[in-house]
Amino acid sequence: MKALGMTAMILATICFFVPVVGPYVTVVAAGLVAFAVREGLTFAAVAIGLNLINLLFFSPSLWTTEGEGVPLGLLISS
């Protein structure tokens, strides 16, 4: 469906600007991508690309949780 692909792409774009809830909205967008078929496939592919770029490079929520398991001494010496 074309509407699911467009909705997934819009949600993937919104995730760039929402700091805390962004990763959760990314999961919702990924669920919509799974059901976008035929006409919505192009929009779904764009949504997948945006989600990957957001999670790998621009997600501050994931950056803050990245160093939680590291002892403090290792963080200070780096």
- Alpha-carbon torsion (31, 33, 34, 39), positive or negative: positive
How far does CA 48 lie from the centroid of its chain?
A: 8
Asked if the model's pLDDT at residue 67 lies above 90, the reply is: no
φ and ψ at 11, to 5 degrees?
-65, -40
**What are the pLDDT digits (tens) for 39-59?**
888 999 999 999 888 888 777
What tokens does 33 get? 């991508």
For residues 59 and 24, the model is more confident at 24
Q: Give the model's confidence band at 71: pLDDT under 50 very low, under 70 low, under 90 confident, else very high.
A: low
* 22, containing H or E segment: helix 22-35
pLDDT tens, residue by residue, 25-36 = 888 988 989 888
61 or 48, greater pLDDT: 48
Orientation angle between helical segments 41-53 and 22-35, nearest 10 degrees: 150
